[in-house]
Amino acid sequence: MFDFAIKHTHRSARRGVFRTPHGEVQTPAFMPVGTAGTVKGITPSQLKATGAHMILANTYHLQLRPTADVVRELGGLHTLMGWNGPILTDSGGFQVFSLAGINKITDDGVEFQSHIDGARLTLNPESATEVQNKLGADVIMAFDQCPPLPCNRETLASAVDRTIRWAQRCQNAHRREDQALFGIVQGGLDLGERQRCVDALVGMGFKGFALGGLSVGETHEEMVSVLEPCGEMLPVDKPRYLMGVGMPRDILAAVQAGIDLFDCVLPTRNGRNSQAFTATGQLKMRNERHKIDTAPLEEGCDCETCERFSRGYIRHLFIAGEMLAATLTSIHNLRFYQRFMARIRELIVEDRLDDITEEFPIAVSEG
């Protein structure tokens, strides 16, 4: 039902295939984020046309509304979203970090105050796993504690301790063989804590492993200093997922360290905020210089936006407040990411991964 096969390696970079009940994922792969059961402003057919293989949804947000029970009654997450490809659900562990101001953490779990209406929602390893079992995604994540960076050693060690204990509780609570449960490695920038977490998780029987607790305040250089050692710590025969990391240069560094899966809101968030990704950097589409520009967002891009619409038109839509502006720019950004990942896969097989920066200079810049 689940299988991960490495087809080629170039130094530490891996070209693989991850097989799930809803299809194959060609790796390294980027997963668009559909937090509340939708990739914002994008239909499933539009999403498929960008080249996406797998998408992500979020346990915390879906449990708030419409709730996992409603999703199950409506046929499960795939039916609800109209997406017949693989889906991964985050456990809500990232919200332990991102919503720190409205939650309370104990050894048992986390009590949230809903950001929507203030209602109480408790997530712990058992309930987060049960919710994900009801949602029905192909890959589900263990509930973990994601500490901020920087943080003191005591806080970091405590988060790792909880993550380890909670991981075993998630395994014990997991009820569906048609869902692959991944463990999450925490430890911040401390390689000793990362190793301690990996050592504890590997024996628990997870189908894959994620690196959590990055892109939460550290610099690019600090992130890179952790990626390669962590790649060496993880089992070779299991898929590796770097959570919430999405700038092209960060993705490239992680691929070079042996990471297989990525997700981030950047393509659609930036698209809604009038920023378009190109191989050489980002365009700010509200700028006056695009007013009478007849060029596409990016020459050579085969997305629907670039094949049919001009920069001048897209700028007009943003200035006029038309929702189509966000959709068209998001389609382009999503296709940009899939073109970037497809080229990475090709160059790994050709043993020329270093050449990616010639075609995508954005992969060595801040974007």
For residue 129, give every residue at least 6 positions away whose Cβ sits within 8 Å of its Cβ, in sequence order, or none.
91, 140, 142, 143, 170, 173, 174, 175, 181
From the candidates 3, 69, 90, 108, give the one annotated as an active-site residue: 90
In terms of Cα–Cα distance, which of 20, 84, 30, 92 is closest to 61?
Answer: 92
For residue 289, give every residue at least 6 positions away whose Cβ sits within 8 Å of its Cβ, in sequence order, or none.
none
90 exposure class (CB count in 10 Å sphere: 0-12, 13-18, 19+): buried
Please, are residues 166 and 110 in contact by the beta-carbon 8 Å criterion? no
From the candidates 138, 144, 250, 263, give the one annotated as an active-site residue: 263
Long-range Cβ pairs for the range 62-70 (8 Å, 24+): 62/36, 62/37, 62/89, 62/131, 62/135, 63/92, 63/121, 63/123, 63/131, 64/114, 64/116, 64/119, 64/121, 65/36, 65/116, 68/130, 68/131, 68/132, 68/134, 68/135, 69/134
Q: Indicate if 263 belongs to the active site.
A: yes
Helices (H), ranges, the chain: 44-49, 59-64, 68-73, 77-81, 93-98, 125-135, 153-173, 191-202, 220-233, 248-256, 266-272, 304-308, 311-320, 323-349, 356-359
Active site residues: 90, 263
